Amino acid sequence: MFALVDANNFYVSCHRAFDPSLKGRPVVVLSNNDGCCVARSNEVKALGVKMGTPWFQLYDLANRHGIIALSSNYGLYGDVSLRFMRILAEFSPEQEVYSIDECFLDFTGFHSIDLTGYGQTIRQRVLQWLGMPVCVGIGPSKTLAKLSNYVAKKRDQYQGVFDYSRLSQQEQDELLASIEAGEVWGIGHRLSEQLARLGINTVKDLRDADTKTVRRQFSVVVERTVLELRGVSCLDLEEVAQAKKEIVSSRSFGKLVVKLDDLQQAVASYTVRAAEKLRRQHSVTGALQVFLQTNPHKTNEPQYHPNILMPLIEPTADTGLLVSHAMRGLKRIYKPGYRYQKAGVMLMELSDAKSSQPDLFSHFSTQDRQKSQRLMETLDRINRKMGRGTLRLAAEGFQHAWKIRTDYPSPRYTTRWAELPIAHAK
């Protein structure tokens, strides 16, 4: 038996936990650079605002309905998430931190406990200790736990906790027939369209689909989903996060950028970030892609969205090497005369650093490789201890004209002495 505990509108709730004046009011949290909505309070959802809507398109609506916009505050979210996961760890011996605001718990062997009541205890605990509203979904597989969480969120009568295993066969059928197949974990938009062509529209249709046909037409992954919907647990808790297959580091600029100089600094620092992530998961990369974008919403301006793939002769995780490749790529795709809104770097063809093969014709010696590895380890250690960016490449520059825009900042209530919440004594 599994549970999925998922916070309600996590980013918005983090702000509300420390600023009660936001309660009951329409609130959106904006992405880096205040680009688009990444979190919406229920009041904003009720106004029909979709996830990812660009903020500038909402100015009118925001004025009319008093929508409060907040720039994202990742310092706050990170600390609240850490506390959230630690609180949940007390409720089960096994825990999988699935995302910043979602966590699977293993309830195997919890036969003698009323799981719905246990779910309510979890909910109450997180609400009281953190001021964070959460929902709990319980089911015999991870897929059903996730679906139950969806039910707990959407249907008020369950008061935030839904246990699929308590349903009779008939109740299960009725419930699954009332939910679209696209709501199932791992069934994306494209896949649900393909399923619909086969007459599979609801979750019940999917559960009752023939596994052999599903495997032939789609994949073993979809077949596994079907089995999981039948209550056969195929996915175990992943207590160790899996290494990513690709690493993207990109951001929109605070203001549009024209000069190659500025782009070089931005791309260099994104590459540095990406390389840090790469080394943290003990991988090396075999290819690097650089991309640029003008602002697609400024339809009266010339548009240019180039990208270039730089294959590397030998997989590496060396920041210096990656930055020099990124700079060469950038120079090749950069064209003057455009106003760029976004740049980024993607590392692809990642592989395990330990098992990577040196190239026969490589001009790097074993000593070079070891030297580079030691240098990177030292760099990472110093930056981890002294703070990100303490040691950096000159290519990253010092004055970041393109740096993040935060027009609606909020205090980092839990991680800075100077930004603590105020206790009014008046």
What residues line the site for other proteins (CB under 8 A)?
Answer: 18-23, 83, 86-87, 128-131, 378, 381-382, 384-386, 413-414, 417, 420-426
CB closer to other proteins out of 125 and 339: 125
In angstroms, the CA 79 to CA 72 distance is 14
CB closer to other proteins out of 52 and 421: 421
Q: CA of 15: how far to CAs of 71, 136, 156, 332, 419, in Å? A: 11, 21, 23, 43, 13
Read off the tokens for 186. 């791992």
Quote the least distance from Cβ 394 to other proteins, whole Å: 21
Quote the least distance from Cβ 241 to other proteins, whole Å: 16
CB closer to other proteins out of 87 and 203: 87
Query: For 333, how many CA atoms within 13 A lie in the half-sphere containing its CB?
Result: 25
Read off the tokens for 281. 């998961």
CB closer to other proteins out of 43 and 228: 43
Quote the least distance from Cβ 83 to other proteins, whole Å: 5
C-alpha closest to that of 283 among 231, 318, 312: 318
Quote the least distance from Cβ 134 to other proteins, whole Å: 14
In angstroms, the CA 160 to CA 153 distance is 6
Starting at the earlier edge strand, list the strands of the sheet with 68-71. 37-40, 27-30, 68-71
CB closer to other proteins out of 105 and 343: 105
Distance spanning both ends of the chain, measured CA to CA: 51
In angstroms, the CA 257 to CA 203 distance is 47
Q: Is 205 within 8 Å of 181 (Cβ atoms)?
A: yes
Quote the least distance from Cβ 136 to other proteins, whole Å: 18
Quote the least distance from Cβ 367 to other proteins, whole Å: 16
CB closer to other proteins out of 86 and 332: 86
